């Protein structure tokens, strides 16, 4: 079942096993609030829920604009653990070990970070990647 909330604007997938997956939240706090609200709504409809919902964040997806253009042709030679096949997909896939996240980098300077379990990991990973791109002269800013 899909349970949609307007505030916070989320969609929660509810499985027969009792597990739920909440998507669309803008923060960990918002995701937790959405889950509590869904549980409350289910209880008010007469659905028996035993125990307290245990919320575990398993994947945060963030989109970022770095404000410059990235040289995706050179990046695979300068960064380790990358995959870039422009005929298949216009972005470069970069796997970072610490924090453990995966980035999709685009020539426009936009990127997507996925796989983080904490918001702080997203900020740390983006800062680390941005510094790496600057240190290796892989990002260029328009004047």
Its CATH architecture, for the domain 2-44, is 2-Layer Sandwich (3.30)
pLDDT in tens, 31-44: 999 999 999 999 99
pLDDT in tens, 98-129: 999 999 999 999 999 999 999 999 999 999 99
Q: 60-140: which CATH topology? A: TATA-Binding Protein (3.30.310)
Arithmetic mean of pLDDT, 7-29:
92
| Three-point CA angle 8, 13, 17, nearest 5° | 135
Whole-model pTM?
A: 0.84
Read off the pLDDT band of 52 (50, 70, 90).
confident
Read off the pLDDT band of 3 (50, 70, 90).
very high
- Tell which residue, 19, 17, 51, 53, has the closest CA to residue 35: 53
Q: What is the DSSP letter of 110?
A: E
- Tell which residue, 18, 58, 24, has the closest CA to residue 39: 18
pLDDT in tens, 64-89: 999 999 999 999 999 999 999 999 99
- Please report the pLDDT score of residue 23 as a whole number: 94
- Please report the pLDDT score of residue 55 as a whole number: 86
The segment(s) of the chain belonging to CATH 3.30.310.10 are: 2-44, 60-140
């Amino acid at each position: 079942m899909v349970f949609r909330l307007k505030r916070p604007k989320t969609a929660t997938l509810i499985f027969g096993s009792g597990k739920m997956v909440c998507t669309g939240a803008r923060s960990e706090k918002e995701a937790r609030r959405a889950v509590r609200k869904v549980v409350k709504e289910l209880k008010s409809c007469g659905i028996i829920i035993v125990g307290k919902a245990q919320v575990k964040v398993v994947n945060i997806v963030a989109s970022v604009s770095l404000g410059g253009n990235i040289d995706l042709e050179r990046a695979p030679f300068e960064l380790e653990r990358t995959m870039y096949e422009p005929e298949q997909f216009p972005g470069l896939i970069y796997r970072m070990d610490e924090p453990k996240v995966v980035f999709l980098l685009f020539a426009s300077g936009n990127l997507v970070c996925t796989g983080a379990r904490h918001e702080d990991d997203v900020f740390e990973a983006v800062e680390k990647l941005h510094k790496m791109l600057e240190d290796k002269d892989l990002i260029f800013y328009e004047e």
